[in-house]
């Protein structure tokens, strides 16, 4: 059995609780305008989630900055009214959303303990993420993860997003290990799991929502990073075989 030398984590909605921060930010703006207040919060959240996926692809392609993408999402959310929203209205809403998001950044439960335990065992901890480098560095620093992560590889610096092979190969190069000596951990089945397997890397699906696993032969599963015990570490470090 090959020894695991590096654990490569996704960041958003794996180590970092993006869904929580986004939900809190949406709650901040939900009562700001009559159109939002009259709409069930769950509907607004669903609309925003769809927009986030669509617009973020343009960020990854270099077509929009994060600030431009945020304004674009807010403008679209406001565009259900007959009139076109004013730029000042869009800017104000985007600013309040950004502030709400920043104030509610946090990690998933058990993350600090887990990364600390991995490093104590001599395991390299990497982050492989589809986003802009400065944005992700800010999250790591704010959440006190920068001292627990050995390196980060972003789609911006590599020029290739997950699930493409290039970003995983760049992470293996940073870790100075072979594909058989690493494991990828992430919440996205397509980007993290299928991407990792396509690069020849073992994968663990982080599944806190308890969704049905699409294919149990392609990835092990963790539904929580707590407790940080031998069961979770055994899955990550391939000790169960």
Q: Which domains does the chain have, with CATH numbers?
A: 6-17+106-236 (3.40.50.1000), 18-103 (1.10.150)
- The pLDDT tens digits for 80-111 are 655 677 888 889 999 999 999 999 999 999 99
pTM for the predicted model, two decimal places: 0.92
Q: What percent of the chain has pLDDT over 90?
A: 74
8 A C-beta contact, residue 214 and residue 208: no
**Adjacent-strand bridge partners of 115:** none
Distance CA 68, CA 46 (A): 21
Q: What pLDDT, on the 0 to 100 scale, is given for residue 87?
A: 85
Q: Identify the top-confidence range among 22-26, 30-34, 166-170, 233-237.
A: 166-170
More confident residue, 41 or 116: 116
Q: What pLDDT, on the 0 to 100 scale, is given for residue 50?
A: 92
What is the rounded (10 degree) CA torsion for 240, 217, 211, 192?
A: 90
**Adjacent-strand bridge partners of 184:** 8, 203
- The token pair at 56 is 């973020």
CA distances from 45 to 20, 29, 30, 48, 94 (A): 11, 11, 10, 5, 15
Among residues 209, 3, 11, which one has the least CA distance to residue 115? Answer: 11
């Amino acid at each position: 059995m090959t020894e695991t030398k590096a654990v490569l984590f996704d960041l958003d909605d794996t180590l970092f609780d993006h869904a929580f921060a986004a939900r809190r930010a949406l709650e901040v703006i939900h009562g700001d305008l009559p159109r939002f207040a009259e709409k069930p919060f769950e509907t607004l959240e669903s609309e925003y989630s769809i927009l986030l996926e669509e617009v973020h692809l343009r960020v990854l392609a270099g077509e929009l900055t994060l600030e431009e993408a945020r304004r674009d999402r807010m403008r679209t959310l406001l565009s259900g009214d007959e009139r076109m929203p004013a730029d000042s209205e869009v800017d104000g809403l985007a600013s309040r959303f950004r502030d709400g998001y920043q104030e509610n950044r946090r990690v998933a439960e058990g993350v600090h303990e887990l990364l600390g335990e991995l490093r104590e065992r001599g395991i390299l901890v990497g982050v492989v993420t589809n986003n802009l480098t400065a944005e992700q560095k800010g999250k790591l620093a704010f959440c006190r993860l920068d001292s627990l992560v050995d390196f980060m590889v972003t789609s911006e610096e590599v020029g290739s997003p997950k699930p493409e092979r290039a970003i995983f190969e760049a992470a293996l190069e940073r870790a100075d290990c072979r594909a058989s000596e690493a494991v990828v951990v992430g919440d996205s089945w397509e980007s993290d799991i299928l991407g990792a397997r396509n690069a020849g890397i073992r994968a663990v699906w982080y599944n806190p929502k308890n969704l049905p696993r699409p294919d149990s032969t392609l990835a092990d599963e963790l539904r929580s990073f707590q407790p940080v015990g031998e069961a979770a570490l055994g899955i990550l470090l391939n000790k169960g075989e």
